[in-house]
Amino acid sequence: MTKPYVYVTRRVPEEALTPLRDFAEIHMWPEEEVPVSREELIKQAKKADALYTMLSDKVDAELMREAPNLKVVANLAVGYDNIDVNEATKRNIAVCNTPDVLSDTTADLTFALLMATGRRIVESAEYIKKGYWKNWGPLLLAGTDIHHKTIGIVGMGRIGTAVAKRATGFDMEILYHNRSRKEDVEKQLGATYASFDQLIEMSDYIVCLAPLTEETRDLFTEDVFKRMKSSAIFINASRGAVVDEEALEKAIVEKEIAGAGLDVFREEPIGEDHALLKHDNVVALPHIGSSSVETRYEMAKLVSRNIVHVLQGKEPEAIVNQEVIYKE
């Protein structure tokens, strides 16, 4: 009996593929940091029963039309805006992701980014490395406190909740905005629901953890930044496209906000000439929210298990389009 054909679009640890090894024929793009070309991805999709994908891989209607055997697209990410989910559902293709296993790790990074920006950690580290530290001064590289400040979390999903939990350790007042109220979070963590307008006007730290949807695309505009406190710090660890980057840079230049910490950008990767990198009060990271060794291994293994379950006609551990029906 012919084994299912699985194409892996980036080099991942061999250990992560263990659930697939005896079950499927696996072909893998050999590079870890260089994405598979569009041409090669379509070529492989033509014979694939499953695609093991990254956020950088565009799985759209064009590709699906070329993939008659495709039964599952499994993303190594909690996000899936690289996949045309509606098209996949029409074609009875399961779309899987990796929620839960990365929530705490991403929350750690988000709060670290908040702290690094607020306390000017990166700027201070560069200051001493460049030999600028000649003496001590009362306000030398003085940042802003984190404790007792107000954090406003836009998107109170699993990661947002984990960030709120960390904020309680700093005695922060927690505001949140979400599509729906989270009464359990309000009760457990003392968080307060606020409208988007209230949140951006009242918060000292505005943290975006919202998924990218038509409603959240370009959510943070020039007008939004103008309405933030001039002392506010903006943190984005969700998706780059929720922010108008030109408006954010203008807000930084005109001192409408105090700084920004960014783990994501509209077009990734960015180059050293990106406008936002010119500013000392912007901390920029290369989309490493879930990037701990432990979590990335768990995510990679979950992708493999999702694929195996779908190809066996079982419910995967994490599926985006629940309406896809599996035949026993």
- What was the pLDDT predicted at 19? 87
- What was the pLDDT predicted at 92? 96
User: What's 185's domain CATH number?
Assistant: 3.40.50.720
Q: What is the pLDDT along the chain (328 residues), one digit of tens a residue?
A: 689 999 999 999 999 999 898 899 999 999 998 999 999 999 999 999 999 999 999 999 999 999 999 999 999 999 999 999 999 999 999 999 999 999 999 999 999 999 999 999 999 999 999 999 999 999 999 999 999 999 999 999 999 999 999 999 999 999 999 999 999 999 999 999 999 999 999 999 999 999 999 999 999 999 999 999 999 999 999 999 999 999 999 999 999 999 999 999 999 999 999 999 999 999 999 999 999 999 999 999 999 999 999 999 999 999 999 998 654 4
Question: Under a CB-based contact definition with an 8 Å cutoff, are residues 59 and 67 in contact?
Answer: no
Looking at the fold, whether 89 and 130 belong to one and the same domain comes out as: no
Spatial distance between the Cα atoms of 134 and 50, rounded to a whole number of angstroms: 59
Query: Within a domain: residue 321?
Result: no
Looking at the fold, whether 137 and 75 belong to one and the same domain comes out as: no
Q: Can 201 be counted among the known catalytic residues?
A: no
Residue 206 CB partners (closer than 8 Å, separation 6+): 152, 154, 199, 200, 228, 232, 233, 234, 235
Other beta carbons within 10 Å of 288: 15
Q: Can 239 be counted among the known catalytic residues?
A: yes
Give the domain extent around 141. 103-284
Query: Within a domain: residue 303?
Result: yes
- What was the pLDDT predicted at 325? 66
- What was the pLDDT predicted at 222? 98
Looking at the fold, whether 124 and 188 belong to one and the same domain comes out as: yes
Looking at the fold, whether 257 and 110 belong to one and the same domain comes out as: yes
- What was the pLDDT predicted at 1? 64
Question: Under a CB-based contact definition with an 8 Å cutoff, are residues 302 and 18 in contact?
Answer: no
Side chain identity, residue 221: T
Looking at the fold, whether 51 and 136 belong to one and the same domain comes out as: no
Looking at the fold, whether 42 and 123 belong to one and the same domain comes out as: no
Whole-model pTM? 0.91
Helix ranges (H only) for the chain are 18-21, 38-45, 61-65, 85-90, 103-118, 121-129, 158-168, 183-189, 196-202, 222-227, 245-253, 293-311
Looking at the fold, whether 223 and 300 belong to one and the same domain comes out as: no
pLDDT tens-digit series, residues 156-169: 999 999 999 999 99
Task: Please give the structure tokens belonging to residue 307.
Answer: 């694929």
Q: What is the largest CA-CA distance in the chain?
A: 75
- What was the pLDDT predicted at 326? 52
How buried is 42 (Cβ within 10 angstroms: 0-12 exposed, 13-18 middle, 19+ buried)?
A: middle
Active-site position among 62, 254, 268, 315: 268
pLDDT tens-digit series, residues 218-244: 999 999 999 999 999 999 999 999 999
Q: Can 148 be counted among the known catalytic residues?
A: no
Question: Under a CB-based contact definition with an 8 Å cutoff, are residues 253 and 281 in contact?
Answer: no
Q: Which helix (H) or strand (E) holds 208?
A: strand 205-208
Peptide bond connecting 269 to the previous residue in cis, omega within 30 degrees of 0: yes
Task: Please give the structure tokens belonging to residue 198.
Answer: 């209230």
Backbone phi, psi, residue 135, to 5°: -165, 175
DSSP designation for 131: T
- What was the pLDDT predicted at 146? 98
Spatial distance between the Cα atoms of 325 and 328, rounded to a whole number of angstroms: 10
- The CA-based angle 190-191-197, given to 5 degrees, is 155
Q: What is the mean pLDDT of the chain?
A: 96
Looking at the fold, whether 127 and 213 belong to one and the same domain comes out as: yes
Beta-strand relationship, 205-208 and 233-236 = parallel
End-to-end Cα distance, the chain: 19
Active-site position among 10, 239, 305, 309: 239
Side chain identity, residue 222: E
Q: Domain count for the chain, please give it.
A: 2
Query: Within a domain: residue 324?
Result: no
Looking at the fold, whether 135 and 236 belong to one and the same domain comes out as: yes
Active-site position among 166, 287, 296, 309: 287
Query: Within a domain: residue 86?
Result: yes
Looking at the fold, whether 149 and 230 belong to one and the same domain comes out as: yes
